[in-house]
Amino acid sequence: MLPLSFLRAHGRLIGFGFFMYFCSSAGQTFYIALFGGELRSAFGLSHGAFGTIYAAATLASAATLVWAGRLIDRAPLPVFAAAVMAGLAGVSLLMGAVWSVGALAVALFGLRLFGQGLAGHTAGTAMARYFEAERGRALGVAVLGLPAGKFVLPLLVVAGLAAAGWREVWVVSGLVLLALAPLVFVLLKGHGARDDALKARRAAAAAEGRGDSTLGTALRDAGLWLRLPALLAPPAIFTGLVFHQVHLAESKGWSLGLIAGSFTVFAVASVAATVAAGPLVDRLSARRLIPVFLAPIALSCIALALGEAPAAAPVFLALLGLGTGISFVLGGALWPELYGTAHLGAIKSFVGAAMVFSTGLAPAVMGVLFDRGYSVEAVAAACALYCLAASALAALARTPLRIAAQR
């Protein structure tokens, strides 16, 4: 748990991270999928056509994030965050007014860019940049905004759809986001002093020959490429398997109700792992944990591959939740440990784009494998082997000279 004195000193900044993670839900797959039936009906789209449009919007947003995400390294954090909130509110209002398939594609692109991409990117970069000794704990609390959004917002959307049309729900969402945007400045009150202190620490480090790495330097480090496959595993495997959960249930002879109920276990495990991972990262460092953190994900895939009884469903999702929760904290803490914070936005936007791309690709790859006759068990076993291979690669990664010099 975070000490009370730490919360009193940094509660606003951690609250800002929680807030931005929560608001990123408006561009997350789980939120947009709640309107899938209405959108397909309104524009006469098949499941495949809607999925193709959504995948194209996601991949386009990933490409744009590489450029847009690095702007957080140059703009004041309150201004950047407010712009992200305004953009997310604007595309939410656009969703309420879409008049054609082309307009729908543009709105989906905006939601994926400002929601899943930039809102979460802003939260994670702020926590990683302005915390050091307590970075893991701060990330562990702030990132709880993600499961909070998954818990609260579906209930509100379902109630809204029962009371009004899907367009009205999106308009209300946009207006609420617009009204909440000024909260950014309240939560970041006095941020200028915090930013000045960070710049002073950077200047002192640079004077001692320990300057932060640029994106170009990070991309030339073999360690980034050796660690990246491990960090891509949780979102890709989760998205791919959950996207095909109907086929998974039919293959195993499980009911969809069993799968849906097991997501409660997933949520509890994910939150518990997120909170527990924070102190662990602060104690051991993210770079030391990367080679071993995929163990729960690999075990979840093994449980799916070998389990046939209904009890295997909650075991599979509980282990998947543990691994996913740990990855939230590790993914935020690793890059500032390795490359510093001066160009953290650029580095994290590149990694974030890779993650978005992997989540867009995983359902398609798994779908092709299922279409070609590969079983759920075979795909799950392949995912487990991927986790083992990615962990082995991460174990080969060395600590950059810049970080070694600090130790």
Q: What is the CATH number of the domain that holds 381?
A: 1.20.1250.20
Give the domain-ending residue among 161, 193, 208. 208
Q: Is residue 297 part of a domain?
A: yes
pLDDT for res 407: 38
Q: Which residue has the tokens 């926590």?
A: 127
Are 215 and 202 in a shared domain?
A: no
Q: What pLDDT, in 10s, does the model give residues 141-170? A: 888 898 888 888 888 888 888 888 899 999
pLDDT band at 404 (very low <50, low <70, confident <90, very high): very low
Contact status, residue 58 vs residue 356, Cβ threshold 8 Å: yes
Integer CA distances (angstroms), 127 to 10, 20, 154, 309, in order: 10, 11, 27, 42
Give 391's pLDDT tier (boundaries 50, 70, 90): very high
Determine the pLDDT at residue 405: 42
End-of-domain residue from the set 145, 173, 208: 208
Residue 192's pLDDT is 76
Instruction: Clarify whether residues 259 and 118 are in a common domain.
Output: no
Residue 406 lies in a domain: yes
Average of per-residue pLDDT across 11-16: 90
Q: What is the pLDDT of residues 170-204, one digit of tens each?
A: 999 999 999 999 999 999 988 777 777 777 766 66
Share of the chain above pLDDT 90, in %: 36
Residue partners of 258: CB distance under 8 A and separation at least 6 = 249, 310, 313
Give residue-wise pLDDT tens across range 35-57. Answer: 888 888 899 988 778 878 888 88
Q: Does residue 242 share a domain with residue 203? A: no
**Residue 402: predicted pLDDT:** 52
Q: What's the mean pLDDT when you consider all of the chain?
A: 86
Q: What is the mean pLDDT of residues 384-402?
A: 86
Residue 328 shares a structural domain with residue 221: yes
Please give the pLDDT value at position 105. Answer: 94
* Residue 254 region by backbone torsions, left for phi larger than 0, else alpha for psi between -120 and 50, else beta: beta
Q: Are residues 38 and 145 in the same domain?
A: yes
My answer on whether 334 and 187 are in the same domain is: no
Residues 78 and 65 in one domain: yes
Q: By C-alpha distance, which of 1, 236, 244 is closest to 141?
A: 1
**Which pLDDT band, with edges at 50, 70 and 90, does 360 fall under?**
confident
Average of per-residue pLDDT across 104-129: 92
Are 214 and 182 part of one and the same domain? no
Residue-by-residue DSSP string for 358-384: HHHHHHHHHHHHHHTT--HHHHHHHHH
CA 338/CA 226 separation, integer angstroms:
13
- Greatest mean pLDDT among 200-209, 210-219, 244-253, 342-351: 342-351
C-alpha 301/C-alpha 176 separation (Å) is: 39
Q: Is the pLDDT of residue 221 over 50?
A: yes
Same domain, 285 and 402: yes
Residues 185 and 236 in one domain: no
Domain shared by 137 and 266, yes or no: no
Whether the per-residue pLDDT at 65 is higher than 60: the answer is yes
Same domain, 180 and 293: no
**Rounded CA gap, 172 and 163, in Å?**
12
Residue 170 covered by a domain: yes
How many domains is the chain partitioned into structurally? 2
Is residue 2 domain-resident? no
Global pTM exceeds 0.85: no
Domain that holds residue 21: 10-208
Helix (H, G, I), strand (E, B) or coil at 147: helix
Q: CB-based contacts of 151: which residues, under 8 Å, 6+ apart?
A: 267
Residue 3: inside a domain: no
DSSP state of 209: T
**Spatial separation of the C-alpha atoms in residues 79 and 103, rounded to whole Å:** 28
C-alpha distance from residue 82 to each of 134, 177, 185 (Å): 26, 10, 8
Which one of 208, 223, 238 terminates a domain? 208
